[in-house]
Structure 1
Amino acid sequence: MHAAATESRSAALRTLLRSLGQIVLQPNAFTGACLLGAWLLDDPRLACAALMGAVAANVSAVLAGYREDDTRAGLHGFNGALAGLAACHFIADNATAAAVAILAATATAWLLEPWSRMLRARGLGFFSSPCLILTWLWLPLAASGTQPASVAATHALSAAQWGSGLLAGFAQTGFASNALPGLLVLVGIAASSPWHALWALIGAGFASVAHLLLGATASSFDAGLLGFNGALTALALADSGVLTMLGGVALSVVLQAAAAHFGWPAMTAPFVLATWSVQWLEQRPAHGAGATQPAHRNDTARAAATKVPVDA
């Protein structure tokens, strides 16, 4: 009896950590633990928000009767974690942020099934889109929008600044900042898949350089705001080839720059829209030939789970 209870608690913990790991498209408990450590280093409030959101979403998925295998892989919890992080990031009051985090995370779980089914029919994955939809709904009511990024001349960056800025971009995948939390996130990705870590570094570096050439400030780079969408896009398109991946990253740069110009709180929307565009373009020849859509493109998070074995 005691052994069964211990095993059940261990399985629940691994599910929770995989939900966090799926934020960077890695269904790996160690990756999730690294993200949790990154939030604790940067701001323990972020860690609490992510855990609240992941728990709320996973409980809702169980109550809704979603597939147990998908829940264990973290597919039903990571948008809840992101919703919690968004609430913590945009709302200063702790009580209000906690309430919004739980409600939004629960809503992402209930939205997930019909929304992902509609996207699968078009050969697209859901990525962080449920979190984006819910956050955009409450954000005008509960928090002030993000300010447009200022444009200023960018001075030459030192090697240390380049390294710190790239790592900070990995921290920004979970609304954190600074190089050390970003290093923890990168270590977590590398532990799950060294190749994915390499592609993410390439994506973050390419996106950062492109943003700087477009006139983004060095302070934005230092905060990690220029690289995180590029890193996520590279992770999502890691199996599509280097040129396709770089094309997706370039599109995410354009979309993020446009959102910053108009002062829109884009968050990870550039990554989602850029990857959807590439997935749609990749499937157009298949539709023209009357071929069926490849199963591994139908569900983004499930595709990530098949690329990297779920840890024991």
Structure 2
Amino acid sequence: MDWSLKIDAALPRPLRIIFRGVGQVFFCCNAVTGFIFLLALFIGGLAAGAAATVGVISSTMAAHVLGFSEDDIDAGLYGFNGTLVGPCLFLFLEHSPQLWLYVVLASILSSVVLAALMRILHPYNVPASTSPFVLTCWMFLVAVYAFDSFTRGPILPPPGIPTIVTGVGALPAEIWFIALAKGVGEVMFADSVIVGILFLVGIAIVSLRGALMAVGGAVVGLIVPMLFGANQNAIEMGLYAFNPVLTMMAVGWVFLKPTGRSAALALLAGILTVVCQAGLASFLTPIGLPTLTFPFVLVMWMFLFAAGMSKYWSAPSAK
């Protein structure tokens, strides 16, 4: 929307870059949208909002100090992985004063990893997206075993053999909306209906198609797990939805020409993301790591690579 672009342009450059970095979590290069996202995180929890703020500032400053592309920094591309790193570590690790240093170091590393992956993937015209966040957080979550100052939080499951699924069943119709909203909010680890709604509002400011793709991903993450017999509690919390949300936005709005065909491809990608997430969850359970957004990254990469071989979809543009 024009009014949001005017506000974006009028903001001081440091604020504009920081807010754009938060907005880029949902592919939105817009400071107004990023501000709404960050406000939503603070509404969901002060610790999560503060951790996201520290993360986006640390990763962005690291990119500037290391001399990475100013255009990419201005677009917020070195901020969104740090935005995710902060809430992730605060969710899965016990809170301690040292944890803030941990967040800063992990956010800085996410920018280094992003720059490296951008260089590797550039010839293939495929984006690194949230893969630096995933790789960085996996490393830091495993590293806590070597440090006495850090311990795993209760939400992070201990290593073990995958067990048979229990609590299977269809969700009552009256809580579908709650599950859909939480599915969007869980992209940034927010178990909140209000946060999910605010995220959708922020996306819609930039693009209605983008918001529709996000809603479509949340619907896929609700219906497909129910059809396959996934755990009802996990579905209700939106844990099967946040990856399809990102996948459908990436394939159906951002990296391919926005057409009916790309929307259909996005739907297929979203469905397969649910399957990929289930498989990766079973694969990672023995080492006690969460899937994070890796199912989205893996499926998006495969579909964008495949799109380049098809006569129906234009090649993606790396971002």
Alpha-carbon distance in structure 1 between the residues aligned to 2:310 and 2:11: 47
| Matched position secondary structure for 1:112 | helix
| Per-residue deviation, residues 258-299 of structure 1 (Å, max 9, x unmatched) | 12334241110000000000011112358xxxxxx94xx242
Whether the 8 Å CA contact 1:120–1:298 is kept in 2: the answer is no
Larger RCO, structure (CA 8 Å, separation 6 or more):
1
Whether the 8 Å CA contact 1:153–1:215 is kept in 2: the answer is no
Counterpart of 2:264?
243
Q: Choose 138-147 or 19-28, whichever is displaced more.
A: 138-147
Counterpart of 2:189?
175
Whether the 8 Å CA contact 1:88–1:94 is kept in 2: the answer is no
Q: How does 1:1-312 map to 2 (within 5 A)?
A: 10-142=12-144, 143-144=151-152, 145-146=156-157, 151-239=165-253, 240=256, 241-262=262-283, 263=285, 264-285=289-310, 294=315, 297-299=316-318, 302=319
Whether the 8 Å CA contact 2:181–2:194 is kept in 1: the answer is yes
| Per-residue deviation, residues 64-88 of structure 1 (Å, max 9, x unmatched) | 2222222121101111111222211
Whether the 8 Å CA contact 2:41–2:48 is kept in 1: the answer is yes
Q: CA deviation at 1:42?
A: 1.5
Q: Which runs of 5+ in 1 are unaligned?
A: 1-6, 287-292, 303-312
Alpha-carbon distance in structure 1 between the residues aligned to 2:39 and 2:173: 26
Q: CA deviation at 1:34?
A: 1.8
Q: Cα distance 1:57–1:149, how it changes in 2: closer, same or farther (>3 A)?
A: farther
Whether the 8 Å CA contact 1:150–1:217 is kept in 2: the answer is no
TM-score, normalization: structure 1?
A: 0.85
Paired residue total? 286
Whether the 8 Å CA contact 1:123–1:283 is kept in 2: the answer is no
Alpha-carbon distance in structure 1 between the residues aligned to 2:298 and 2:236: 25
Identity across matched positions, percent? 30
Q: Which amino acid aligns with 2:157?
A: T
Whether the 8 Å CA contact 2:81–2:110 is kept in 1: the answer is yes
Q: Which amino acid aligns with 1:120?
A: H
Alpha-carbon distance in structure 2 between the residues aligned to 1:156 and 1:80: 36
| Per-residue deviation, residues 98-123 of structure 1 (Å, max 9, x unmatched) | 11110011111122222111012222
Q: CA deviation at 1:146?
A: 3.1
| Per-residue deviation, residues 31-79 of structure 1 (Å, max 9, x unmatched) | 2122212211221101111111111111111112222222121101111
| Per-residue deviation, residues 198-247 of structure 1 (Å, max 9, x unmatched) | 11111110122111222222211221111110110011011441221012
Q: Cα distance 1:156–1:208, how it changes in 2: closer, same or farther (>3 A)?
A: closer
Q: Choose 145-154 or 195-204, whichever is displaced more.
A: 145-154
Q: Cα distance 1:285–1:242, how it changes in 2: closer, same or farther (>3 A)?
A: closer
TM-score, normalization: structure 2?
A: 0.84
Whether the 8 Å CA contact 2:169–2:229 is kept in 1: the answer is no
Q: Cα distance 1:53–1:149, how it changes in 2: closer, same or farther (>3 A)?
A: farther
Q: CA deviation at 1:152?
A: 2.5
Alpha-carbon distance in structure 2 between the residues aligned to 1:120 and 1:230: 24
Whether the 8 Å CA contact 1:112–1:130 is kept in 2: the answer is yes
Counterpart of 1:307?
none
Alpha-carbon distance in structure 1 between the residues aligned to 2:69 and 2:298: 26
Q: CA deviation at 1:95?
A: 1.7
Q: Which amino acid aligns with 2:117?
A: W
Q: Which runs of 5+ in 2 are unaligned?
A: 1-8, 145-150, 257-261
Alpha-carbon distance in structure 2 between the residues aligned to 1:104 and 1:153: 36
CA RMSD of aligned residues (A): 2.1
After the TM superposition, which parts of structure 1 deviate over 6 Å for at least 4 consecutive aligned residues?
none
